[in-house]
Amino acid sequence: MGHRLSVIVVENDRDRALLIVDSLRAAGDFDIHVIAGAAGLGRRVKALSPDVVLIDISNPSRDMLEELALATGPMERPVAMFVDRSDDGMTKAAIEAGVSAYVVDGLSPNRLKPILDAAIARFHMFQRMRTELMETKRALEERKVIDRAKGMLMKARGVDEEKAYALLRKAAMDQGKRVADVAQALVTAAGLLG
Amino acid sequence: MKGAMLSVGFIPLLDAAPLIVAQEMGFAAEEGIALDLVRAPSWSSLRDMLSFGRVEAAHMLSPVPVAAALGLGGTRAPLAAVSVLSMNGTVIGVSNALADRLRDGGHDFAFDDARAAGLALIRAATPTLRIGVPFPFSMHAELLYYWLSALGLPAPQNVDIRTVPPPLMAQAIEAGEIDAFCVGEPWGSIAVENGVGTLLLPGAAIWAFAPEKVLAVRSDWADAEPALLGRLIRAVWRAGRWLGDPASHTLGAELLSRPAYLNLPAEVLDRALNGRLVISPRGEQRETPGFIDFHAGAASFPWRSQAQWIGLQLASRNGLDRLASVQTAGGVFRSDLHRNALRQTGADLPAAVSKVEGANTPLHTDSGRLIPSQDAFFDGRIFDPSQIER
């Protein structure tokens, strides 16, 4: 069992794949392959006969790997999903991070741990990036709405930008709402009134 | 009694309808529950979400909980099928190249004769037939194995049945990775819409009453939350009854087509609900009454014998003890929980828990009525769970 563990990363996005490979390299000496694209996934994985397969839980092609768990031919190595294993804590952590792994049956947990730890950390980072991206998008959209509302107020009441914003903020505070919500209400109402 | 929220996972398919309708048409609210419907990316993820408690209940391929009980694939958390969500609703299709060969060989694409279609397919297929199914443990795979081996094409020698996620089925057939597929609607119709496939046969032509999807929960959850489980079963049963009324089909298709659910055109979803499928890119239409059933013939009732049939197929193919597997499988379809939940609803359920599958025997109900049953296999064989040989 002293051989270098071979790890397959199934990931369509090149940048994400590179990041995962980097963090695995930092975690130990592994033989790493990346597979992109769904075509013939099961066959390609089988041909490489890896010890561990890592795949994003939200990847619909994951079902193609389930066949590997059934392969029992003489030349095919049994692959079991690690959620089947005794280490529930590690499994839960992985599922929450959005990574699923398929592992050769009988691989000892202490050889597996560094791989999963690295993958879990990386996937957590992806999730944070996804959340941040969404937050940034929302913030941008809100700013656009607030700018439109300010413009309307400046025109309707003949005030400057600073004063217009102060009006919005005061209305928001009085009603216990967010400035963006008040701005949105104003823009909607103005649209209705034509 | 109020405000209980249940997370329920589903895969975007037509037969997730009872869950979506239970929430959208207020059948869940009537039972004092709300369903938080979680769309899952794949069957394996959904099974894991259920096993690890991310969702309380799930839309599930009928063989998945049986396979889990037999120790095949994935997790071992004991799962219970507490209702059958849908009967049939799958379709077998072929690539345009294979469709041409079938037509050249004289096949008429009548869409109702499993023997004729199967023999034509075997004649036209060279040298091996590659068929895509959504998951290794699926009624799709079971129907294909049953159909082709009965007609003299045993797997795995001449048939390569491989997994392709339903949304990728049309792509796989276009790319020439598979010659044929068996998939749940609307994905067969989508392949036709995209001009890449021709439909050969509805799954119902192989087994007239095949349990396709079940409502699955963890067995320990079923034991711990009997009251909540009862509400869920009743809400989903009423949704199935609503869907069984042809007057509901238009609205049903509209609900399912919403972005949060299937996000596909209602016009395509409508075809399977009404049993009127367009089978080829040239627009040929076929009438298939009972293409999918949510209610008729006590469709929701999880017969132990259905699970036992699945268990026997899985055991035979995977080299497990047949008798022991059939016994284990029977315990997965919980007709007892289903009956308990529906006791006060006026549902007239079958009095037995097991039947001879394929015999078309009318069913005695709790109220003493006899209701007709059409559950024949295409080759006339029957499955009697009390007559299993090792």
Token look-up 């006899």 returns B370
Q: What is the mean pLDDT of residues A89-117?
A: 72
Judgement on whether residues A64 and A138 belong to the same structural domain of the protein: no
**Is B44 in contact with A92 (Cβ distance < 8 A)?**
no
DSSP character at residue B207: B
Judgement on whether residues A79 and A149 belong to the same structural domain of the protein: no
Peptide bond into B156 cis (omega under 30): yes
pLDDT digits (tens, 9 = 90+) for A133-167: 888 888 889 999 999 999 999 999 999 999 999 99
Which residues in chain A (39-58) have CB-CB distances under 8 A to chain B?
39-40, 42, 57-58
ipTM of the complex in this document: 0.76
Structural domain range at position A142: 133-193
Q: Which CATH architecture has domain B4-86+210-262+294-340?
A: 3-Layer(aba) Sandwich (3.40)
* Between A47 and A33, residue with greater pLDDT: A33
> Is A149 inside any structural domain?
yes
> Is A21 inside any structural domain?
yes
Judgement on whether residues A120 and A33 belong to the same structural domain of the protein: yes
- The CATH number for A137's domain is 1.10.10.10
* Spans of chain B below 70 pLDDT: 1-3, 74-76, 155-156, 390
> Is A20 inside any structural domain?
yes
Domain boundary among A83, A105, A132: A132
Domain boundary among A87, A109, A132: A132
Taking one residue from A and the other from B, the number of pairs with CB-CB distance under 8 angstroms is 76
Judgement on whether residues A65 and A27 belong to the same structural domain of the protein: yes
> Is A67 inside any structural domain?
yes
Q: Which residues of A touch B136 (CB under 8 A)?
A: 66-67, 70
Residue of A nearest to B166 (CA): A60
Token look-up 């049994």 returns A78
CA B123 to chain centre: 28
> Is A1 inside any structural domain?
no
Q: Out of A47-56, A180-189, B85-94, which region has the weakest mean confidence (pLDDT)?
A: A47-56
User: Quick one: CA dihedral A171, A175, A178, A180, positive or negative?
Assistant: negative
**Is A65 in contact with B165 (Cβ distance < 8 A)?**
no
pLDDT digits (tens, 9 = 90+) for B269-282: 999 999 999 999 99
- Smallest Cα distance from B239 to chain A, Å: 28
DSSP character at residue B356: -
Judgement on whether residues A102 and A53 belong to the same structural domain of the protein: yes
* Measured distance CA(B293)–CA(B297) in Å, rounded: 9
Judgement on whether residues A98 and A26 belong to the same structural domain of the protein: yes
* Between A63 and B274, residue with greater pLDDT: B274
Domain boundary among A132, A154, A169: A132
Judgement on whether residues A114 and A31 belong to the same structural domain of the protein: yes
* Between B234 and A105, residue with greater pLDDT: B234
- Same fold for the pair B4-86+210-262+294-340 and B90-209+279-287: yes
Token look-up 């998951």 returns B135
> Is A107 inside any structural domain?
yes
Q: What is the mean pLDDT of residues A84-101?
A: 65
Judgement on whether residues A167 and A84 belong to the same structural domain of the protein: no
C-alpha torsion A60→A63→A65→A71, nearest 10: -170
Considering its fold, how many domains does chain A have in total?
Answer: 2
Are B330 and B308 in contact, with CB atoms under 8 Å apart? yes
Residue of A nearest to B73 (CA): A69
Are B293 and B85 in contact, with CB atoms under 8 Å apart? no
What confidence score (pLDDT) does residue A54 get? 85
- The CATH number for A108's domain is 3.40.190
Are B266 and B253 in contact, with CB atoms under 8 Å apart? yes
Q: Out of A15-24, A98-107, A149-158, B368-377, which region has the weakest mean confidence (pLDDT)?
A: A98-107
Query: Helix, strand, or coil here: A100?
Result: strand
Judgement on whether residues A68 and A116 belong to the same structural domain of the protein: yes
Instruction: Provide the residue type at B165 as one letter.
Output: P
Judgement on whether residues A44 and A67 belong to the same structural domain of the protein: yes
Judgement on whether residues A58 and A126 belong to the same structural domain of the protein: yes
Q: Which CATH architecture has domain B90-209+279-287?
A: 3-Layer(aba) Sandwich (3.40)
Is B39 part of the contact surface with chain A (CB cutoff 8 Å)?
A: no
